[in-house]
Each structure stands twice: as structure tokens, then as C-alpha cells.
């Protein structure tokens, strides 16, 4: 049987033991964080857009009331407006639900914009780490991961690829 959007979200709470009222409150909160889902609660989740499916997956995971939520490439394949919406929600969830969130993301600009602390990895090794505010201003991070030249201009993809071969910190 295929699950609806609402059934998908509810199934996340199956292991909880903190009371029906708390679960109902959290269920309602998911639709506050993801209002787009409130309009499609009875739709089969498999027929939702990629962005909606990402929201469903995050809401379902949050229904388990985790202390830590791990997200792998939440922006993958999504339209820029949906990426912005999802990352704004990730930031709100972190603050309002007091949930630690570990995000693995290739979009350095948005990841650094919403995070407090970041690790930059190359070939499975941590090559830089620190407060996100500091990493955002690091000239190497700007050039290597955001495609911004030292003069503030934009680098072409070809130039960025070439730069990756000249790793400065490895």
C-alpha cells in the first residue's frame, strides 16, 4: 500500500513514548514548518515533487523527536526556491525544536549561511573546520567552493575545476 503525505509523517512517531498529546502537537508543528504539505495531506507521497518529498522525509524524521537529525544533500535536484525554503526550515527546526542538525551539502554558500560550525572535506578527509562565519570569509573557501575570485568576481566552472587540482591546504 502506498502511504499518503500525512501517513508518511505520522509513521515517524511510531517509536515515541512521550504521550499522545505531545505527538499530536509535534504533528501539527510539522505542518507549521512545512505549510506546503498541509495542502496535500491526502496525496500519495510517491506522486509529490522532489521538494515535497524532501519535506516529507524531514518531517517524518522529526516526528521521532530525535536529539540529532542527519541530512544528506537536502538540496539535491531541487529548484532554487525550494532549496531556500528547506534550508530556512532546517534553521528554524534547529532553533525552535532544539535539535542538532548535521547537514552534508555540496552547496557551500547555503550550508555556511545556516550553520554555526562547518567541516570542509576533500576525499573523505577534513581539510578545514571552524565557525561558519569565519569559513565564509576565508579566501580559499570563497574561491574553491563558492567560485568567487579574490577580487570578488565570479570564476568560470573551468577555472574552479583547475583550482581544485592545486589544493592549497592538503
pLDDT value of position 140 = 86
| d(C-alpha 16, C-alpha 24), whole Å | 12
Mean of all residue pLDDT scores within the chain:
89
pLDDT value of position 160 = 55
pLDDT value of position 100 = 94
> Domain ranges in the chain?
1-104, 106-169
143 pLDDT exceeds 70? yes
164 pLDDT exceeds 70? no
| d(C-alpha 136, C-alpha 146), whole Å | 9
Paired residues of 100 in beta bridges: 68
> Under 8 Å CB-to-CB from 76, ≥6 apart: which residues?
none
**DSSP sequence for 128-146:** EEEEHHHHHH-HHHHHHHH
| d(C-alpha 43, C-alpha 128), whole Å | 43
Beta strands 117-122 and 125-131 are antiparallel
The 8-class DSSP code of residue 2 comes to P
Q: pLDDT by residue (tens digit) across 31-88?
A: 999 999 999 999 999 999 999 999 999 999 999 999 999 999 999 988 888 899 999 9
Taking residues 100-126, report their average pLDDT. 92
Q: Rounded to a whole number, what is the distance in angstroms from the first to the last CA of the chain?
A: 50
Domain 1-104: give its CATH superfamily.
P-loop containing nucleotide triphosphate hydrolases (3.40.50.300)
Amino acid at each position: 500500500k502506498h502511504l499518503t503525505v500525512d501517513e508518511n509523517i505520522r509513521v515517524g512517531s511510531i517509536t515515541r513514548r512521550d504521550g499522545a498529546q505531545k505527538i499530536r502537537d509535534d504533528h501539527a508543528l510539522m505542518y507549521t514548518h512545512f505549510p506546503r504539505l498541509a495542502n496535500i495531506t491526502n496525496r500519495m507521497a510517491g506522486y509529490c515533487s522532489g521538494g515535497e518529498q524532501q519535506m516529507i522525509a524531514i518531517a517524518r524524521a522529526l516526528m521521532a523527536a530525535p536529539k540529532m537529525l542527519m541530512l544528506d544533500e537536502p538540496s539535491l535536484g531541487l529548484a532554487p526556491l525550494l532549496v531556500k525554503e528547506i534550508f530556512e526550515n532546517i534553521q528554524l527546526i534547529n532553533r525552535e525544536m532544539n535539535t542538532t542538525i548535521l547537514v552534508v551539502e555540496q552547496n557551500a554558500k547555503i550550508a555556511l549561511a545556516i550553520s554555526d560550525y562547518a567541516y570542509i572535506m576533500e576525499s573523505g578527509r577534513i581539510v578545514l573546520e571552524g565557525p561558519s562565519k569565519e569559513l565564509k570569509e576565508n579566501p580559499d573557501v570563497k574561491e574553491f567552493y563558492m567560485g568567487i575570485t579574490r577580487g570578488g568576481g565570479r570564476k568560470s566552472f573551468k577555472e574552479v575545476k583547475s583550482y581544485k587540482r592545486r589544493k592549497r591546504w592538503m
